[in-house]
Amino acid sequence: MALSDEELERYARHIVLPQVGGVGQNKLKAANIAVVGAGGIGSGVIPALAGAGIGRLTIIDDDVVEVANLHRQPLFSEGDAGRPKADLATEFVRRLNGFVETSPVRKRIDPGNARALLAGHDLVLDGSDNFATRLAVSDACVALGIPLVSAAAVQFQAQVGLFRAQPCYRCFVGDAFDADDCDNCAELGVLGALAATAGSFAALLAINTVVGVGGNQAGKVHLFDGEKLEWRTIEIPPDRGCKACRGNP
């Protein structure tokens, strides 16, 4: 798959990077990524992935824009209130980069539909706002063998991690949240710029994973303290009894 002259010009500042080059840019073009959640995290992720030239983006979100979203979701503007986020985010991608094929899915992911919606993607980036969705996404990614970048932000705390085979996201958070579909942003608040920080970091992790930059980052979770302005990284131990990834290598 060769890059056209127009693509070579468009991605020149990527291609000049020794870690990316034409080979890396072609990997981005060949990649098929599902983004779960077009909210605060998605507002950082979606422009970065579309700008980077990811070949196919599926944007999954069942929500509509509310005025209280606008402080952290710059994909949308005041006139968008009441419109579906997945449709608006897809329109944004088309305006930004005509080389990206994109499609909206206006559905809420749950354990019953997650595998069908995520199958066929090379990587899933989850920026959803509740544990029920995150666990459904993670369990499907484990079953399908798809690497998962998971990102979340609440109050002044953000976390971003890459999960592949084992440990999985469920090893990290456990099973307690299966029954507790808490929407932490609505209840606890979140600083808008912090969601953007987590989204940008998650997009970087996804791009590095696709291109193969920075070695294997799977099983690490990066935690950001938005008050101290400090990142720290923890390694997640595999849960040998995990009901999702037990038995995976």
Minimum distance from residue 175 beta carbon to Zn ion (Å):
10
d(CA 87, CA 25) in angstroms, rounded, equals: 27
Residue 242 lies near Zn ion (rule: CB under 5 A): yes
Site string for Zn ion, 86-125 (x = CB under 5 A): ----------------------------------------
Question: Which residue in 45, 42, 19 sits closest to 204, CA to CA?
Answer: 45
Residue 171 lies near Zn ion (rule: CB under 5 A): yes
Minimum distance from residue 139 beta carbon to Zn ion (Å):
9
Residue 244 lies near Zn ion (rule: CB under 5 A): yes
Number of residues that bind Zn ion (CB under 5 A): 6
Residue 164 lies near Zn ion (rule: CB under 5 A): no
Contact range with Zn ion by CB under 5 A, out of 70-78, 197-205, 210-218, 238-246: 238-246
- Please report which helix (H) or strand (E) contains residue 30, including its range: helix 21-30
Question: Which residue in 43, 131, 140, 46 sits closest to 93, CA to CA?
Answer: 46
Contact range with Zn ion by CB under 5 A, out of 98-106, 122-130, 220-228, 234-242: 234-242
Residues 6 or more apart whose CB falls under 8 angstroms from that of 4 comprise: none
Distances (CA, A) of 45 to 6, 171, 199: 24, 24, 5
d(CA 93, CA 68) in angstroms, rounded, equals: 23
Contact range with Zn ion by CB under 5 A, out of 25-33, 55-63, 81-89, 160-168: 160-168
d(CA 246, CA 239) in angstroms, rounded, equals: 7
Contact range with Zn ion by CB under 5 A, out of 73-81, 96-104, 165-173, 212-220: 165-173
Return the residue of 60, 114, 132, 245 that touches Zn ion, per CB under 5 A. 245
Residue 168 lies near Zn ion (rule: CB under 5 A): yes
Residue 134 lies near Zn ion (rule: CB under 5 A): no
- 154, β-bridge pairs: 157
d(CA 153, CA 170) in angstroms, rounded, equals: 18
Cis peptide before 167 (omega within 30 of 0): yes
Q: Please identify, using beta-carbon distances, which residue of 54 and 244 lies nearer to Zn ion.
A: 244
Residue 148 lies near Zn ion (rule: CB under 5 A): no
Q: Please identify, using beta-carbon distances, which residue of 80 and 239 lies nearer to Zn ion.
A: 239
**Contact yes or no for 26/4 (Cβ under 8 A):** no
* Residues within the interface to Zn ion (CB under 5 A): 168, 170-171, 242, 244-245
